Chain A
């Protein structure tokens, strides 16, 4: 019983991390129709930047949360630069945009390997959250519970942004029908940069938040990217609710799969994706077929 509960908490935690990663991926894909293959790299960059700040590699030790915000801001700027100076050069050529993002992800991976070496780096758990929570006979790591809380806060904030503000209405209009949104005077191209930067910041934030659990190592970009991809295929692109449901499904499948059939864990993950593709190609909550 304890085993299953602990596994469930781990699943929700992993799902929460995936949600932070996939929400941005889904928005970028929904609005710009680009599967941003640098998304795993942005996650990794966030984690490495965070580790650098928190572990005092620059000589100064930063507070975990301050480091998380700094890493997210840095990566957001990086994302905006990619969007403005590279993707903007290739309007209406999704294939070229995919290839460029893929090329950038290789360059980032190699630069990270050069800068931080091949050994995994653990990000120190923030000091207040190192303990455990006792609920009846069970003990849960406090940090994992905190990650779930953070994801809920970010999710609600994103929902408020998308559903209750003018900018959010513009983004939704852009996702539903970019051409019509342009016609009614929404600057869709400005939105592109903003959403790309927001998605990059979220991915980087997920990277550093996940740092104390997953550690950071070369290859984590290619490890996380397909997971984000599956979440979006499952949930439907451009849908926040889809990201939430997709992330949770994948979080559970991944952890339970690893516990029950370790050799086929990766395969189990993709089964629901195949089912969704066959039965509902636009994803559970998606509005269009990519």
Chain B
């Protein structure tokens, strides 16, 4: 436990001091992207990991909040009004998503969320009077919480870091809470949970809402970071990308989505500088991970680590029995 605490403190220190030791605006920006994508992946992980409900339409929700922020700002509202509106619209959309898609579980849930995500994409693409169609929406300026302007990459990085740490703390508390345990129960044994008197549908609905909240927050960070939102951020590829983050890192673990988002963002920003075929690589990684390491990188590494650690232990035990005989 102390070793874990030490690693945690070192990681936090590294993140807080990152702009000092990682020189160059480019790298700080990549780090900011990792942070808000990690919040997004944490949000999807609530469903895909802990609830066992895989959504392929989450980029739609992410986009709804991003568009709402941009639209409100362009109407002349203040940042706080825009953010509050975006969060509420995001949550209402998530509630609609949830009511429709919780009709099914498993494959049915995937199909319905995929279709819903495509509806949102279609709206973003076609509803030109609201969304600007293919041209998207441009933003001007970032908010200034407590008088601190977030225009510089470093300032934005710290804002994203604070949001990320809060999201991570919320997830840690949630997973250890009775509600989190009940959610995992509905994933593993829905029928037994019903028999025990739990309201399975309601627990799943709460999970959807938590997932939607994190997703909306990530969408707002995304639009402030890019100062631009277009239908491309909402398409099936985007939904699949965030699912890849969750699954590659390890669905149903706290660290998995963070590792996954780091992997995907780094590969995407670094590799796309060298080769054009990012989508091909994305598909190939998807296929490779599903076939070779289906449990994801974090649980996979933990398993290998434990196997290596456990192999060392039997040594002295064998010696002891030999001495005894």
Contacts and interface: CB of A to CB of B under 8 A. Distances in A.
A57 interface: no
Centre residue among B111, B247, B279, B284 by max chain A CB count within 10 A:
B111
B165 interface: no
Centre residue among A94, A99, A104, A222 by max chain B CB count within 10 A:
A99
Contact of A86 (B129, B277, B287): B287
Interface string A119-158: 0000000000000000000000000000000000000000
B291 A100 contact: yes
A165 interface: no
Nearest to A290: B108
A104 B287 CA distance: 7
Interface residues of A, number: 45
B283 A263 contact: no
A162 interface: no
Given A110-B277, A222-B236, A281 B103 contact: yes
Nearest to B285: A103
A100 B100 contact: no
Interface in B213-242: 235-237, 240
Interface stretch (B69-77, B118-126, B197-205): B118-126
Size band of the interface chain B makes with A: 35 or more
Interface string A19-36: 000000000000001110
A167 interface: no
B253 to A, nearest CB: 16
B115 interface: yes
A274 B119 CA distance: 11
29 contacts: A35-B114, A86-B291, A89-B291, A94-B107, A98-B56, A98-B107, A103-B287, A104-B287, A106-B279, A106-B280, A106-B286, A111-B280, A229-B111, A229-B118, A233-B112, A263-B128, A263-B129, A264-B123, A265-B126, A266-B121, A266-B123, A266-B125, A270-B115, A273-B115, A277-B100, A278-B103, A281-B103, A290-B106, A290-B107
Given A100-B286, A226-B118, 7 more contacts: A102-B240, A106-B282, A222-B235, A265-B122, A266-B119, A277-B100, A281-B108
